[in-house]
Amino acid sequence: MEKEKTKNPNQNSFLFNLLTNRASSMTLAVVFALVFTSLLVWMMKANPISVFQTIITGAFGSTNNFTQVIQAWVPLVLASLGLMFTFTAGLWNIGMEGQIVMGAIFSYGIIRIFDGSDASSALVIILCILAGILGGTLWAFLVGLLKNFGGVNEIFGGLGFNFIADAVMLFLVFGPWKPEGVANGSTKMLDTRFWLPQIEGTYLSLWALGIAIVCVILVTVILQGTYFGLKLKAVGKNNKSSFLLGIHTNRYMLLAFVLCGVLAGLTGALQVLGFNHVLRNNISGGYGYIGLMVGMLANIQPLITAPIAFIFIALSKGAAGLGIDLKLDSNLAGVIQGALVIFVLIMDGVRKVLIKKFKGVQSG
C-alpha cells in the first residue's frame, strides 16, 4: 500500500479528482467557454454581463420568446437524435442537412398532389410525414451504400449529397414549384388545413413537440436498452473486432444511416407542416450541422441531447437582440456554441489522459 502511494502521490488530490470526474470537468469546460467569450466581448469594448443578460432576455423574456425557443428546439433535437445512431456506430453523417432538405421536398410533394382535393387533412398530414421520412431515409441510405460498398468516406459522400439536395431544392422553388409573381425562392403557403395544429398566437405545434419528446424516449430505449443498441456500440468502438465476433458490421452501419435518415426526414416534414408552411431554400435551418455539435457534447447519450439542444437554441434565439440592443453581431451565439464544443473536447481529452496515466501507474 505504501509503495502504491509513492508511485502515484497525486491520485487523491483535489485537482486530480476535479479533472477526472466527468461532471466537474464538463462544468470547468462551460466556465472556460464563458470566460473565453467574455474576453472576446470585452475586446470588442462591450460589457459581457450586458451581453449575457440580453441573450437570456431574448430567449426567456416573454412568452412569445420562450415559445420560439421551444419551436426551434423541436427540429434541432430531432436532428441531434438522428445523429446519435451514426455517432454510436462511429460514423460522421455530415449529410444530415441534405437529408432534412429531401424530407421537406418529399413532404411538400404530397401537398401538391392533394392540393385542391377533398381528401381528409389528417390523412394528408400523415402521408406528408411518411413521405418526408421516406425522403430523408433514401438520401441517408445512398450515403451508407457509398460508404459500405463504394469505399467512399461518409463525410465526403454526405457533403456531396448535401450539394445535390440543395440543387434539387433550388430547381424546384425557382422552377416548376415557383408560384406566379413570387421571386423570393419559396413555394406558395400551405393551405391552413394542412398545418399541424398550433397554440393560438404562436407558431408552436404541440403535436410537433409531442413527436420530439416521444423520439427522445424511443432513441434512448433503442440505444441504451436493446441488443441492437449494444451491437451498434460495439461496431462503433471496434469495427474489426465486432466483425470477428460475428456482428454484420456493414449491415449495422447501414441501419445507423437509415435510422438517422428517418429522423432527418421527419425533421424536414415538420419544418414544412409545423413551422415554415412553405418549401424554401435553407429550410434545413442549419440544424444538421448544429446537431453535430450537440451530438459531440452529448457524448452519445440521447437524454442529455435534449437539454444541450435547448441551450444551443436558447443561445441562438436570445442572441437575435444583440444587434439591436448592443450593436453586436448575433453570430456571437455561434462563437459561444463553438467555444463550448472546443473546451468540452479539450477537458474530456485531459480527463481521459489523466485516467489512462493513473491506470498505467497502477499496473506499473
Cα-based angle 304, 76, 262 (whole degrees, multiple of 5): 95
Residues 289 and 364 in one domain: no
Residues 142 and 246 in one domain: yes
Residues 113 and 207 in one domain: yes
Q: How many CA atoms lie within 13 A of 195 on its CB side?
A: 17
Grouping H, G, I as helix, E, B as strand and the rest as coil, residue 95 is coil
pLDDT tens sequence across 313-346: 998 888 887 877 777 777 888 888 888 888 888 9
Residues 133 and 228 in one domain: yes
Mean pLDDT of the chain: 88
C-alpha distances out from residue 258 to 95, 163, 255, Å: 12, 19, 5
Mean pLDDT, residues 133-149 taken together: 95
Q: How confident is the model at residue 165 (pLDDT cuts 50, 70, 90)?
A: very high
Cell numbers standing for residue 350: 485531459
Residue 248 and residue 256 in contact, taking contact as beta carbons nearer than 8 Å:
no
Looking at the domain assignment, is residue 57 inside a domain? no
Residues 298 and 158 in one domain: yes
Instruction: State the total domains in the chain.
Output: 2
Expressed as residue numbers, the domain containing 104 is: 62-327
Residues 238 and 346 in one domain: no
Cell numbers standing for residue 279: 418549401
Mean pLDDT, residues 119-134 taken together: 95
Grouping H, G, I as helix, E, B as strand and the rest as coil, residue 182 is coil
C-alpha distances out from residue 5 to 2, 236, 360, Å: 5, 36, 14
Q: Is the pLDDT of residue 77 over 60?
A: yes
Cα-based angle 198, 199, 200 (whole degrees, multiple of 5): 105
Helix axes 48-60, 302-318, angle to 10 degrees: 110
Cα-based angle 1, 353, 335 (whole degrees, multiple of 5): 145
Predicted local distance difference test score (pLDDT) of residue 361: 59
Mean pLDDT, residues 44-71 taken together: 89
Report the largest interatomic distance among the alpha carbons of the chain, rounded to a whole angstrom.
Answer: 84
| CATH number of domain containing 205 | 1.10.3470
Residues 159 and 213 in one domain: yes
Alpha-helical regions (H) of the chain:
2-7, 14-20, 22-43, 48-60, 63-88, 96-114, 121-149, 154-174, 206-225, 227-237, 239-244, 249-270, 287-298, 302-318, 322-325, 332-363
Residues 323 and 342 in one domain: no
Residues 195 and 295 in one domain: yes
Q: What is the 3-state secondary structure (H, E, C) of 292-357?
A: HHHHHHHCCCHHHHHHHHHHHHHHHHHHHHHHHHCCCCCCHHHHHHHHHHHHHHHHHHHHHHHHHH
Looking at the domain assignment, is residue 75 inside a domain? yes
Predicted local distance difference test score (pLDDT) of residue 12: 62
Q: How confident is the model at residue 1 (pLDDT cuts 50, 70, 90)?
A: very low
First to last CA, the chain: 14
Residue 208 and residue 275 in contact, taking contact as beta carbons nearer than 8 Å:
yes
pLDDT tens sequence across 245-257: 888 999 999 999 9
Residues 231 and 130 in one domain: yes
How many Å apart are CA 14 and CA 241, to the nearest integer? 38
| φ/ψ of residue 119, rounded to 5 | -65, 150
pTM of the model: 0.89
Which of 93-107, 169-183, 266-280 is least confident?
169-183
Interior/surface letters 27-52, b for 16+ CB within 10 angstroms, e for the rest: ebbbebbbebbbebbeeeebebeebb
Residues 34 and 72 in one domain: no
Sequence-ordered list of residues with C-beta below 8 angstroms from that of 167, at least 6 positions apart, any chain:
none
Sequence-ordered list of residues with C-beta below 8 angstroms from that of 74, at least 6 positions apart, any chain:
208, 209, 211, 212, 270, 274, 275
Q: How many CA atoms lie within 13 A of 61 on its CB side?
A: 14
